[in-house]
């Protein structure tokens, strides 16, 4: 078993407010104003935002955690089965690497409506006290992606692969904030190139380590590739 990140535990009231607040993020960003509007929508007083000691950061982490849950739901509902598969593909279906690509792109598409607000979120996540939990959430996404893709390895190579997936996703997310191409095709091409460059997801640790050179194989390097100011 691989270690889980620290959980984000919210009460029913907090979850209700945060869920409502997400609908205001496209217009107001990950801000206290979005939280306040979410509280009003859910029938709470404005003062209810005091339920969130981390303020706007709780809204960011709720977004990240809820998107991971949505990704798991999409897999249960046939995400892989609905992919266009070339005739030459093995009758066994998509490989682990293919599924990782599908999951990366599906998660990135979830950012379509808030990508113009994401730089503000990254600025908040860049505060030194927030960086460890931010990176923990990024690794939680990568752990989910590998698990959902069917990677059941338990050796040291799994951690290298997780770091690779984290690095590819983080850098692709930044690319997407600047992507004006139809259907975010430039971001999709970027992900494909990074996956091809790494060739890391089949357990080739040496290739993975070499791949990570493009952003630095340290937590600080990973954070910077995600746009964190560290």
Would you say residue 125 lies in a domain? yes
Mean pLDDT of 29-40: 98
Containing domain of residue 197, as a range? 95-225
Would you say residue 182 lies in a domain? yes
Judge whether residue 41 has pLDDT over 60.
Answer: yes
Would you say residue 173 lies in a domain? yes
Crossing angle between the packed helical segments 156-177 and 131-148, to the nearest 10 degrees: 110
* Nearest by Cα to 76 from 141, 137, 144: 144
* Nearest by Cα to 163 from 129, 119, 109, 201: 201
* pLDDT of amino acid 155: 79
Q: What is the pTM of this model?
A: 0.85
pLDDT digits (tens, 9 = 90+) for 20-30: 999 999 999 99
Taken in order 32, 35, 39, 41, is the CA torsion positive or negative? positive
Would you say residue 183 lies in a domain? yes
Would you say residue 144 lies in a domain? yes
Judge whether residue 83 has pLDDT over 90.
Answer: no
Would you say residue 87 lies in a domain? no
How does residue 214 score in pLDDT terms, banded at 50, 70 and 90?
very low
Mean pLDDT of 31-48: 97
Would you say residue 104 lies in a domain? yes
Number of structural domains the chain divides into: 1
């Amino acid at each position: 078993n691989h270690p889980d990140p620290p959980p984000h535990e919210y009460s029913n009231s907090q979850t209700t407010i945060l869920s409502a607040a997400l609908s205001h993020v496209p217009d107001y960003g990950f801000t206290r104003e979005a939280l306040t509007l979410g509280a009003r929508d859910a029938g709470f007083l404005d003062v209810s935002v005091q339920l969130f000691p981390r303020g706007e950061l709780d809204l960011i982490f709720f977004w990240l955690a809820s998107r991971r849950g949505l990704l798991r739901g999409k897999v249960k509902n046939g995400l892989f089965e609905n992919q266009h598969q070339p005739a030459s593909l093995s009758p066994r279906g998509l490989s682990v690497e293919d599924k990782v690509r599908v999951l990366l792109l599906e998660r990135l598409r979830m950012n379509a409506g808030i990508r113009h607000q994401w730089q503000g979120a990254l600025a908040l996540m860049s505060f030194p006290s927030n960086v460890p939990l931010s990176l923990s959430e990024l690794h939680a996404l990568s752990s989910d992606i590998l698990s959902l893709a069917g990677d059941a390895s338990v050796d040291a190579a799994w951690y290298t692969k997780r770091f690779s997936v984290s690095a590819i996703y983080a850098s692709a997310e930044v690319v997407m904030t600047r992507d004006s191409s139809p259907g975010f095709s430039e971001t999709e091409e970027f992900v494909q190139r990074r996956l091809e460059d790494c060739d890391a997801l089949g357990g080739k640790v040496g290739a993975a380590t070499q791949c990570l050179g493009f952003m630095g194989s340290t937590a600080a390097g990973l954070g910077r590739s995600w746009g964190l100011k560290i």
